[in-house]
Every structure is written in C-alpha cells, then in structure tokens.
Amino acid sequence: MKVNKAEIIISAVEEAQYPSDELLEFALIGRSNVGKSSFINAMINRKALARTSSQPGKTQTMNFYLINEMFRFVDLPGYGYAKVSQKEREKWGQMIEKYLSIRENLQCVLLLVDFRHPPTRDDIAMYQWLKHFQIKTAVIATKLDKVKRSQHQKNKKMIKEDLQLNKGDALFTFSAQDKTGKEEIWQFLEDILKT
Ligand code: GDP
C-alpha cells in the first residue's frame, strides 16, 4: 500500500464521537509501550503522526486515523500500565469493550505483543476475549530487531502456544526500526479491504 495521506480524525472517548460513515477499520490493541504508535507511524511512513509515548498509559483515548481517505486505523488505549488506578482501569475496559463489541466498521483487530517476552496475562486475556466474541484477529509481535535471529522460531512458538492462537489467525513479526514485516502486513490488510 502506498500511503499518500494520513490524518488523525478524532481522539474519541465515547461512542457518540465515532466517525459515522461506513469506512472499514483496523483496531490496534496491546499493552502500553508495546509499540503501537511506532507501528502506525512505520506503516504510514510518518515519523510522529501517532504519538510515541514516553509516559506509557497516558493516552486514554481512541485515536481514529484516516488513511488515503479509504480506511482507518483505530489506536485503542494500551493496557497493563501499573500506575493506573482501578477506576481508570474500569473506564478503559468499558471504552474498549464498547468499541469492540458494537463497531460494525471493524474488520480485524491487530493485537500487538512484544516479541522479546512471553505474552503477558493481559495479552492472553485480551486474545481470549476477542476469540470469545469471534472478532477476527491478527497478532503482531513487535521489536523484532531486538531479538537474535537464532531465537525467532522459539519465540514464535512461545507466542502461539501461550496465546493458544487459533489456526486461522495470522502471526506477524514486525520491526518499526527497520520495517521488517511491513509489506506482509500491508498485504494482509489489503486482502481484507478487497473482500
Ligand atoms: P505504545 O505505547 O504502544 O504506543 O509504544 P511506542 O510506539 O511509544 O513504543 C514504545 C518504545 O518502544 C519507544 O521507545 C519506541 O521507540 C520503542 N519501539 C517500538 N517499536 C520498536 C521496534 O520495532 N524496535 C525497537 N528497537 N524499538 C521499538
């Protein structure tokens, strides 16, 4: 995909603010600091349209990015940040659940996990939740450049096993630093947009 235009449409906190057209959406979810903003920026060839956070967990909005006036990435707020209060955690849960359960524009959730480590309990819970609600999911393992090549197969196996990844769900490895994986992921997204 050649990205000619990318812009943030709205940072939403509630349903009334979701864009009301019928453009297709890909939602991104993952723990704070996993590399969601870096992923979006790398995919659309921008340095900093999506904010890369020095303060993990700060963003509690759902950011809608319009790409080529054709579809959207929806950056959902990250989970698993220790310093977040119980109340904020609940607010987060309601916000995410609402979007994921009612949004008809949603085509696929991209669940980002850190390729260096086993999936966290929150990652596993998130994946199970998505599967329970039968939401199409692809897992993207980030920070590939930080893992030695000799570890790649082992870490892929670990992610598949820990998440109990369904056979039909794709697993991609990705580096925002050197852009490895970018073309494969675009191909996957374009195939969905075509159907
Ligand atoms: P977010 O909180 O999920 O949006 O995470 P960010 O995109 O802000 O990334 C968190 C940190 O990880 C930043 O310091 C990024 O530079 C770094 N990072 C993200 N993706 C990669 C990657 O693929 N490779 C490397 N080496 N660092 C990454």
Q: What is the ipTM of this complex?
A: 0.99
Instruction: Determine, yes or no, domain membership for 24.
Output: yes
Nearest to 36, CA basis, from 123, 100, 152: 123
Instruction: Determine, yes or no, domain membership for 109.
Output: yes
Q: What would the pLDDT profile of 44-58 be if each residue is shown by its tens digit?
A: 998 777 775 545 545
Instruction: Determine, yes or no, domain membership for 162.
Output: yes
Residue 43 near residue 116, CB atoms below 8 Å: no
Instruction: Determine, yes or no, domain membership for 20.
Output: yes
Pick the atom of ligand 1 nearest to 176's CA: 23
Domain extent, residue 32, equals: 6-194
Distance in Å, CA 54 to ligand 1 centroid: 10
Per-position b or e across 124-162, b if 16+ CB within 10 A of its CB:
eebbeebbeeebebbbbbbbbeebeeeeeeebbebbbeb
Q: What is the token pair recorded at 30?
A: 């993952």
41 within ligand 1 shell (Cβ under 6 A)? no
37 within ligand 1 shell (Cβ under 6 A)? yes
Instruction: Determine, yes or no, domain membership for 161.
Output: yes
Mean pLDDT of 112-127: 97
- The residue whose CA has the least distance to atom 28 of ligand 1 is 143
* CATH number of the domain that residue 47 is part of: 3.40.50.300
Instruction: Determine, yes or no, domain membership for 69.
Output: yes
Percent of the chain with pLDDT over 70: 95
Q: Diameter of the chain by CA atoms?
A: 48
Instruction: Determine, yes or no, domain membership for 1.
Output: no
Q: What would the pLDDT profile of 96-118 be if each residue is shown by its tens digit?
A: 999 999 999 999 999 999 999 99
Return the pLDDT at 54.
47
Instruction: Determine, yes or no, domain membership for 38.
Output: yes
143 within ligand 1 shell (Cβ under 6 A)? yes
- The residue whose CA has the least distance to atom 18 of ligand 1 is 35
Question: How many domains in the chain?
Answer: 1
